[in-house]
A and B are shown apart, each in its own frame.
Chain A
Amino acid sequence: MTSTPDLAAVSLQRLTYTYPATDRPALDDITLDIPAGQFCAVVGRNGAGKSTLCYTVAGFVPHFYHGALAGGLRVAGVDVPAASLAALAGRVGLVFANPFNQITGARFTVREEVAFGLENLGVPRPEMSARIDEVLALAGLTGLADRSPYALSGGQQQRLAIASVIVMRPQVLVLDEPTSQLDPVGTREVFEALHRLARSGGAAAETTVVLAEHKLEWIAVYADRVIVLDRGRIVRDGPPAEVLADPALADYGLTPTRYTAAARLAAGRGLVFVDRPLPVTLEQAITYFEDKRLSENPLGPVSDRAPGSVGDRPEQFLDRF
């Protein structure tokens, strides 16, 4: 295991990986550098290789899954194929979709569950307590510290899973569809907690985040960068405003955000003639529609109409204008 102060927290060089007992590579010639502190989202249809990329960055490929790996893989300054999984624990954190499976079961309270990783790292007791208090507060779980982990809701359990990993102060946090089993409220809570934890999780430096996710609207708000995977290859890579507004998104089995869809619909109906990229977030959508040439809007300026909540569907959203 060698440590070098390289800039990239995650670095894959021409990496190809094939699971045992399969023929087709799950990751096909991937080259990817993620700078320290970046929030990088990974999107793509089911089976595109998102989970495999997550497992690779977290060191479970090749150490847990075995199979055939070719190419270079460095994470948090560690040459992953040469290191052990135990050596990666604490440097790289991994969060899954199913909150239930991530509860160790070996601890009876939320507080002790968070302590599990720190105990394994041998963190002294006073420091452990301080770190746990801080993380529980950021995850919004302080009031539940003495409850059984199994008595929490799905969203609370998922925040507990993230907190339990973040408390170990990993340089890289990997999340594999952490909200796919949650309702909209749980999803919002998880994203907000994730943002707080990754940006002020007590660590000296900001945590690098690699997030596989289907919910593009949340990615549009929080990610610095979006990577689109298809058949194990990177097919798009760039800032969310660029990648998520790309019409080619549909080719990769992805549905654009309702804001992009609304803007595209408006442009298609000849309502908007703005020469700027399509919006991917609510904020961008508002600017986008405010910006359009007023003279060509038969309904008058947007600000004249009553402010209301934005509808859930593109058509409803469009009705405001």
Chain B
Amino acid sequence: MTDAFSLYAARPSGLHRLNPLTTLALVGFCLVAGLALPGPWGPYAVFLLVLLLAAWGQVLPDLLRDALKIALPFAVSVFLIQGLFWTGGTPVVGLGPLSLKREGLLFAAQSTGHILAVVGSFLLLSLTTRPDALMRTLDQRGLPKALTYVVLATIQIAPRFQAKANTILDAQRSRGLETEGGVRQRVRALLPLVVPLILGSLIDIEERAMSLEARGFSRTGEKTSLLVLPDSAAQRIARWLLLVGMVAVVAAALTLGSR
């Protein structure tokens, strides 16, 4: 799986054994609840739920590390900017000519909660669900097969393309272009290297398309699948319950918000 653009970590957990649709419903619920529950502490409750699920999936350290790495720069920015420059707020701590405002800090806390809940939910899905299993479950249930192709091909082509781009970057670095010169010079030095890479990959798509055609990609009529994913009545019920839960959370948030 290291060959695909994916964080998937194979673990012998119950969460990993779930049908991908069930995991998707679970993550969808966390996402909706994380954004809909009233702040500032609602999103943190959802993030806690995500952490519990991650523990079940045996990916807690991975998720926590990645989530913090992504959320931290945001958190610092949002606390400083919204805390210091909140207009007309109640000062709580004075910092020379500036002061941290109570309303700004609460807003920043809520924003950080949102980021943690959103990022955590996505990471939970990425870490515990094979992208091909997820997409193919969806296409067996009516998602266009062409869309499945586009998504899965992207996550396998992107890392290879990135590797090529990194080779260019290394070449640039060894020539000192990263430090030398102004922005415009650096962009101008980069373009002659990046453009041929793009052109070459565009010329290749002709063969890619022909290969797909030769393998019956455009053929209409019934198609079969080698991959069979386990599902159960219990999981089907769970998915419906999660869907109802999502609606309930949104409804509750709207009622609370309007009061």
Contacts and interface: CB of A to CB of B under 8 A. Distances in A.
A64 B209 CA distance: 9
Nearest to B214: A94
Contact of B215 (A101, A108, A165): A165
B87 interface: no
B1, B4, B216, B220 pick with most chain A CB within 10 angstroms: B216
Contact of A105 (B152, B214, B216, B222): B152
Contacts of B183: none
A105 B156 contact: yes
A104 B213 CA distance: 10
Contacts of A128: 224, 226
Given A86-B218, A122-B221, A101 B153 contact: no
A259 interface: no
A66 interface: no
A64 B210 contact: yes
Contacts of A123: 224
A124 interface: yes
Interface residues of A, number: 44
Contact of A89 (B148, B160, B214, B223): B214
Contacts, number: 116
A119 B224 contact: yes
B178 to A, nearest CB: 29
B207 interface: yes
B216 A121 contact: yes
Given A101-B204, A105-B153, A128-B224, A89 B4 contact: no
B211 to A, nearest CB: 4
Interface residues on B, range: 35 or more
A106 B226 contact: no
A186 B148 CA distance: 32
B148 A106 contact: yes
Interface in B196-235: 204, 207-228
A106, A111, A151 pick with most chain B CB within 10 angstroms: A106
B143 interface: no
A93 B214 CA distance: 6
Nearest to B159: A150
Nearest to B135: A106
B103 interface: no
Contacts of A124: 224
Contact of B157 (A55, A105, A125, A168): A105
A180 interface: no
A151 B210 contact: no
A96 interface: yes
B149 A108 contact: no
Contacts of A105: 149, 152-154, 156-157, 208
A88 B214 CA distance: 8
A98 B203 CA distance: 12
B156 A150 contact: yes
B130 interface: yes
A102 B213 CA distance: 11
Nearest to B130: A108
A104 B223 contact: no
A313 interface: no
Contacts of B216: 86, 89-90, 117, 120-121, 168
A118 interface: yes
Interface in B133-154: 148-149, 152-154
Contacts of A98: 204, 207
Interface of B: 1, 3-4, 130, 132, 148-149, 152-154, 156-157, 160, 204, 207-228
Interface of A: 55, 58, 60, 64, 85-86, 89-90, 92-94, 96, 98, 100-102, 104-108, 111-112, 115-125, 128-129, 132, 148, 150-151, 161, 164-165, 168
15 contacts: A86-B220, A89-B215, A98-B207, A100-B204, A102-B211, A105-B153, A105-B154, A106-B153, A107-B152, A108-B156, A112-B132, A116-B215, A124-B224, A148-B1, A168-B216
